[in-house]
Amino acid sequence: MTETDNIVVETAEKIFADLADAQTINADKSGNWKAPLWQALSESGLPLSWVSDEFGGSGASLAEGFGVLNAAGRAGLAVPLAETMLAGWLLAQARIASPDGAMTVAPAHPKDRITLAADGTLTGRARGVPFAQDAQYIAVLAQGGSGVSIALVAASACRIDKGLGVGNDASDVVSFDKVKPLQLAAAPQGVDATTLMLMGSVARSLQIAGALETLLDISVAYANQRVAFEKQISKFQAVQHNLARLAGETSAALAAATSAADAISTAATFDDAVFLEAAAAKIRCAEAAEKGAAIAHQVHGAIGFTSEHILHRYSLRALAWRDDFGNESHWAVELGRRVAKRGADDLWPLVASR
């Protein structure tokens, strides 16, 4: 990570520390914390990190943006920062300027499809679109007769059936019924549905890894404070074993996610090497989220399941992020198909080159 990367991430971390404190948010049932946080993020240019100055963004590098997403995961952030960053990135691929305000992307599920008709309107249904009900705009990847297109759509022009994910964040169904885009352009060569899913998967992998880092910190601190049978529970071998397992899952997730982010940041195209890194990261981070959340709650005992405790802010989001942009089962199948297509002789050189 370069000095510039550090500055961008440090800026994000300071905002999160000042305006996204988990205890404060837990106590604020009315959601008044959201507006000041989003305003601070917008003023810093973080939501449009991956958009150049030419198209209304702050022009940060992919590596800088990925660092911000990892920090957002550590904060258990419950605003559409990652979604706006992804939307801005997608629009920039088609040289469409990003508007002010919160955005999200569609589709967010690999089997959903938005179709571009001959009259320039969009039709289709996208499930599990994160924060659609809170977004002002949606960046859409659409399939049409002439290929793949990217569109900017006003959220108000779509039907949004509100829903909640495992982490109690908005996860909505967005229906497009002959929706007229605000702007529309052809996607450049190499940008397609798989590309969007891979970018989204790496973003979620970094967030999961960040959430696991915080789960580990919280669990270690609790184990050192909680006393049972006249000694700290961290002194019990079973608890030590669980904390060691949690540390291992966290390290594995962080290594996989950061490796995938680095691969995308340095690659010229989304080739097979990037596919391997991104798919493997989502698979490994999803597995780590399941195991890590269980361990963290086991260490905390009953108190970790109460709504007043901050633990669930991280564990439930880590679990929810597993399903966005393709779950581990989807990517395991796709990775297997990709490897099988290349043939047995190419498997080891591909794996060993990473």
pLDDT, tens only, 189-209:
999 999 999 999 999 999 999
Per residue, the 3-state secondary structure of the chain, as one string, reads CCHHHHHHHHHHHHHHHHHCCHHHHHHCCCCCCHHHHHHHHHHHCHHHCCCCHHHCCCCCCHHHHHHHHHHHHHCCCCCCHHHHHHHHHHHHHCCCCCCCCCEEEECCCCCCEEEECCCCCEEEEEEEEECHHHCCEEEEEEEECCEEEEEEEEHHHCEEECCECCCCCEEEEEEEEEECCCEEEECCCCCCHHHHHHHHHHHHHHHHHHHHHHHHHHHHHHHHHCEECCEEHHHCHHHHHHHHHHHHHHHHHHHHHHHHHHHHHHCCCCCHHHHHHHHHHHHHHHHHHHHHHHHHHHHHHHHHHCCCCCHHHHHHHHHHHCCCCCCHHHHHHHHHHHHHHHCHHHHHHHHHCC
Is there a domain that residue 89 lies in?
no
The pLDDT value recorded for residue 215 is 97
pLDDT at residue 226, as a whole number: 85
Distance, CA of 256 to CA of 247 (rounded, Å): 14
342 and 224 share a domain?
yes
Domain count, the chain: 3
**Domain membership flag for residue 88:** no
Dump pLDDT digits (tens) for 259-279: 999 999 999 899 888 999 999
At residue 268, the pLDDT reads 87
Residue 82 CA to residue 71 CA, distance in Å, equals 11
Whether residue 155 sits in one domain with residue 115: yes
Residues 81-90: what's their mean pLDDT?
A: 98
User: Do 230 and 302 sit in the same domain of this protein?
Assistant: yes
Q: How confident is the model at residue 354 (pLDDT cuts 50, 70, 90)?
A: low
User: Mean pLDDT over residues 45-71, rounded?
Assistant: 93
Of 310 and 103, more confident: 103
How large is the average pLDDT for residues 136-152? 94
* Residues 243, 198 share a domain: yes
Q: Please tell me whether residues 130 and 260 are part of one structural domain.
A: no
Q: Answer whether residue 3 shows pLDDT above 60.
A: no
| Mean pLDDT estimate for the chain | 92
CATH of the domain at 207: 1.20.140.10
Task: Check whether residue 334 and residue 258 sit in a common domain.
Answer: yes
Residue 84 in any domain: the answer is: no
Q: Domain check: are 248 and 172 in the same one?
A: no
Interval 115-128 mean pLDDT:
96
Where does a domain end: 190, 215, 232? 190
Q: Higher confidence at residue 268 or residue 250?
A: 250
Q: Tell me if 185 is assigned to some domain.
A: yes
- Please give the pLDDT value at position 136: 97
Domain carrying residue 7: 1-77
Total-model pTM: 0.94
Domain identity same for 213 and 143: no
Q: From CA 181, how far away is CA 134, in angstroms rounded?
A: 19
Tokens (6 digits) for 131? 């924060």
Cβ neighbours for 255, distance < 8 A, ≥ 6 positions apart: none
